[in-house]
Structure 1
Amino acid sequence: MEKRTPVFFFAPFVSSTMRIEPAWIDYNGHMNMAYYHVLFDRAVEEGFSLVGLGHDYLEKRKASFFAAEIHTTYKRELTVQDRVRVTLQLVEFDEKRIHYYMEIRHAGEGWVAATMEGLSLHVDMETRKVSPFPDDIMANLAVMKTTHARLPQPAALGRVIGIPHRTEVQEALSASGTRH
């Protein structure tokens, strides 16, 4: 078992500032959808390294975590001049899974460009099978979860893809003050 060190987490975790790379801009003049996932992935790596699930974990303990399911919503375009930060909120975890919610936010203005809800699985890299987290990682996840539990549950959590019924669209437009 690894030596346990005290951990402290901000709620939510906020990534370092990231740039939009010119190669990520598509023919529509904004960042292609695939690269939102690059930003989310970089922030997942940064955030969960705090609980001990970084590159060192793979090297020393021969285990990692893999994405099992994601749900992304695109709220606002990003362009090459934008700088962003990604927030990460640990929603839940158990002995083999991590459920989390993320937002890509404009670094200067704070608006949300995209959201992502994810479920990742802990994997033994020697067997390539889902396996339980070690006790020290479970303890660190518990501390992160306790800190993040103080945050409100994201409204988009558990969102289902579908075309809204006309009455839902009218209610949403009325609530936003938009005339229809």
Structure 2
Amino acid sequence: MSTPRLPLFRETVRPEWIDYNGHLSEAYYVLVFGFATDALMERTGMDAEYRERTGCSMYTVESHVRYLRDVPDHAQLVVATRVLGAAGKKARFTHEMYVGTEPVADAGPVATIELLALHVDQAAGRATPFPGAVRERLTALAEQPPEWAGRSIAQP
């Protein structure tokens, strides 16, 4: 894993997120990834003030989650985010979730997600191009995709 250019997002697994198998329920992996996306939006200028002022936000339109390992109750999670690109009204990025206080490449992530998002004018109800300053912040963060990005689900 390359060193993330964005600050890491951190969260602790809560007891109510644990399923009947004693592990983090699949919906809560996505919840934590959603919080990491919120942090990405804040760090690139699409914070609450921006949303209020412009009426625009970023909407996820496609995602691909990989659940790689079980996560126990009270685990410390750290999420590394990579922006893969942004152009026009689209942004593509990934999150990699690790157990612990820092990403450990040797241990590998417990889950990953690849996302495609659109910049949406909520009043108009349609996608609209990113403003220049936001697009520039996103593209300045662009990194090469990890080896797992771009995969699709296939039946053997």
Distance 1:14 1:163 in 2: 36
> How much is the aligned-residue C-alpha RMSD, in angstroms?
1.6
The one-letter code sitting in structure 1 at the alignment partner of 2:154 is G
Do the aligned partners of 1:17 and 1:107 also contact (CA within 8 Å) in 2? no
User: How far 1:91 moved relative to its partner?
Assistant: 0.6
Q: Does 1:122 align with 2:128?
A: no
Q: Does 1:66 align with 2:21?
A: no
Q: How is 1:83-98 mapped onto 2 (pairs within 5 angstroms)?
A: 83-98=76-91
Gaps of 5+ in 1: 1-9, 165-180
Q: How is 1:1-180 mapped onto 2 (pairs within 5 angstroms)?
A: 11-108=4-101, 110=104, 111=107, 112-145=109-142, 149=143, 152-164=144-156
User: How far 1:135 moved relative to its partner?
Assistant: 1.4
Do the aligned partners of 2:69 and 2:110 also contact (CA within 8 Å) in 1? yes
Secondary structure of the 2:155 match is coil
Do the aligned partners of 1:63 and 1:123 also contact (CA within 8 Å) in 2? yes
User: How far 1:97 moved relative to its partner?
Assistant: 0.5
Secondary structure of the 2:49 match is helix
Distance 2:141 2:100 in 1: 23
CA displacement 1:29-74 (0-9 Å, x = unmatched): 0011000000000011112211101222111111001000000001
Identity of aligned residues (%): 28
The one-letter code sitting in structure 2 at the alignment partner of 1:144 is L
The one-letter code sitting in structure 1 at the alignment partner of 2:119 is H
The one-letter code sitting in structure 2 at the alignment partner of 1:107 is G
Distance 1:118 1:67 in 2: 7
The one-letter code sitting in structure 1 at the alignment partner of 2:60 is A
CA displacement 1:12-44 (0-9 Å, x = unmatched): 424332110111101000011000000000011
TM-score by length of 2: 0.89
Aligned length: 150
Larger helix fraction of residues: 1
Distance 2:93 2:137 in 1: 15
Gaps of 5+ in 2: none
Larger of the two Rg values belongs to structure: 1
